């Protein structure tokens, strides 16, 4: 079967989101590190500085930069280019979480679909709503499905494909592989505050550190 070229598919990467997740913990830990002030014998989080940071950090911007790096990581792991499009965050986290939306070449999505069917077809059917099962039982429908730029099946297909090779998902592997990324994350936090916020932070940090010195 021949497929039309030049089409990109939009897909959400498998991602825990930022709400009460390891990604949230990493960002919080980074901010707490920026709130540490040296005392007589060790560094300690200063609550005044921490409150300042929580009030002045532009968290949506930090989350977006984090999501962009996550997309780059997934691209490397899957050896396909997932081009970051947007971070879709819910207004409330009752029923959904953050989604890292990317575009991927249609040909790449075709390959991922074929691999997911081959290695985990049963799980793919289980995770797919009944009105979509025809795609897996009638090959002639696959072309129509893959020709669309957006389709609910893309997210499911990618999730199952990733589950076939990375049963524990990418989230923990991403954190482990980015242990040296804290400097970049710190920069994202600082940049989100803007020049005025950074100036106020530096002044407050210096004042509090001088007070803490014996």
Mind listing the pLDDT tens digit for each residue in 164-201? Answer: 888 777 888 887 776 566 778 899 999 999 999 999 99
- Asked whether residue 1 is domain-assigned, the answer is no
Domain count for the chain, please give it. Answer: 1
Is residue 80 a part of any domain in this protein? Answer: yes
Least-confidence region, from 11-15, 76-80, 136-140, 209-213: 136-140
Task: Evaluate whether residue 112 is within a structural domain.
Answer: yes
Do the Cβ atoms of 127 and 14 come closer than 8 Å? no
Integer angstrom CA distances of residue 193 from 33, 48, 94, 203: 16, 17, 28, 14
Q: Is residue 67 part of a domain?
A: yes
Residue 79 phi/psi, 5° resolution?
A: 55, 40
In a domain, residue 213? The reply is no
- Residue range(s) defining the domain that contains residue 117: 8-208
Q: For the whole model, what pTM was predicted?
A: 0.85
Q: Is the pLDDT of residue 71 over 90?
A: yes
Residue 3 lies in a domain: no
Residue found under tokens 């020709």: 147
Q: Does some domain include residue 214?
A: no
Beta bridge partners of 102: 11, 84
């Amino acid at each position: 079967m021949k497929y039309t070229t030049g089409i990109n598919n939009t897909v959400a990467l498998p991602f825990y989101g930022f709400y009460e997740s390891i990604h949230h913990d990493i960002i919080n830990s980074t901010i707490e590190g920026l709130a540490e002030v040296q005392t007589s014998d060790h560094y300690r989080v200063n609550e005044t500085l921490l409150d300042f940071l929580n009030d002045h950090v532009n968290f949506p911007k930090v989350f977006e930069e984090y999501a962009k790096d996550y997309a780059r990581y997934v691209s490397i792991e899957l050896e396909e280019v997932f081009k970051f499009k947007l971070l879709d965050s819910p207004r409330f986290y009752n029923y959904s979480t953050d989604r890292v939306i990317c575009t991927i070449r249609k040909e790449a999505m075709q390959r991922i679909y074929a691999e997911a069917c081959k290695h985990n077809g049963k799980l793919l059917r289980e995770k797919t709503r009944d009105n979509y099962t025809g795609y897996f039982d009638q090959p002639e429908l696959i072309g129509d499905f893959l020709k669309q730029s957006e389709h609910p099946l893309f997210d499911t297909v990618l999730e199952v494909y990733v589950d076939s090779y990375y049963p524990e998902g990418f989230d923990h592997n991403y954190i482990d592989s980015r242990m040296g990324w804290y400097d970049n994350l710190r920069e994202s936090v600082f940049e989100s505050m803007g020049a005025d916020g950074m100036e106020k932070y530096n002044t407050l940090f210096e004042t509090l550190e001088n007070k803490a010195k014996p």
